Amino acid sequence: MHKNIRVKKGFTLIELIIVILLISIVSLILIPNFNFNQEKKYKLEIKNIKEFMLNNFEFENKLALECIEKDELDCYIFVDGVMQEDIIIKNLFNQVPKVYNFDRELSDYRFRKIKFDNHEYEPFFELKINSDNKHKNIVLDTYEDKVYLFSAISKKAKIFKNTNEVLDMMYDSSIEVRDAF
């Protein structure tokens, strides 16, 4: 009697699919998602920070960007008073800027201390947006040949070469308004 002996050469398609599925499942389980518990780091430009905030965060009462001198010059987002712990904005500033109120004298902007991580910090820059998407008009001098005007009516900051240009623009605008009446 002669028995039919069948010699198997290679894998069938189903066996290959099963092996690929098993490898995929094991790799998903064993390889951790490195971004899962890490802080999200954003590198943005000063001129579009307000636009970034309004486009990426929902809030009811207040949305704030608070920049402090901790380890570096880092900025944090607060939504309705709660710090978004997974978001740190790095490298927005190379040095501590000068912040002014948008008035005829460009008076110094006063910051209120903020508390988080069981420490109290005095911000060197902040942008606090209320429920109407408005904020105080402020002028930011970075000491790098750029001065920014954050206007409550514009999503992007207007850029000037120096604070004198800001004052000139303010003066020209006041003459236009006066002449209109």
Give the pLDDT confidence of 114-137 residue by residue, as tens digits: 887 788 999 999 999 999 989 999
Residue % of the chain over a pLDDT of 70: 85
Is 3's pLDDT higher than 90? no
Per-residue pLDDT band at 15 (split at 50, 70, 90): confident
Contacts of 128 (CB under 8 A, 6+ apart): 62, 63, 64, 65, 135, 136
Q: What is the DSSP letter of 4?
A: -
Alpha-carbon distances, residue 168 vs 47, 106, 163 (angstroms): 20, 12, 9
Residue-level pLDDT at 6: 64
Q: Which residue has the higher pLDDT, 83 or 4?
A: 83
* Location of structure tokens 């999503």: 155
Strands 62-69 and 73-79: antiparallel
- Return mean pLDDT, the chain: 85
Residue-level pLDDT at 170: 86
Q: Kindly state the tokens that stand for 136.
A: 């105080």
Please, are residues 123 and 68 in contact by the beta-carbon 8 Å criterion?
A: yes
Show the CA angle centred on residue 42, arms to residues 39 and 45, nearest 5°: 160
Q: Which helix (H) or strand (E) holds 83?
A: strand 82-83
pLDDT tens-place string over residues 24-70: 888 887 775 544 444 555 558 899 999 999 999 999 999 999 999 88
Per-residue pLDDT band at 2 (split at 50, 70, 90): low
- Residue (of 122, 113, 67) closest to 92 by Cα position: 67
Residue-level pLDDT at 27: 81
Per-residue pLDDT band at 172 (split at 50, 70, 90): confident
Please, are residues 102 and 139 in contact by the beta-carbon 8 Å criterion?
A: yes
Q: Kindly state the tokens that stand for 100.
A: 């002014």
Long-range contacts formed by 133-136: CB under 8 A, 24+ apart = 133/54, 135/50, 136/101, 136/102
* pTM of the complete model: 0.71
Domain ranges of the chain: 40-180
Rounded distance between C-alpha atoms, residue 11 and residue 2, angstroms: 26
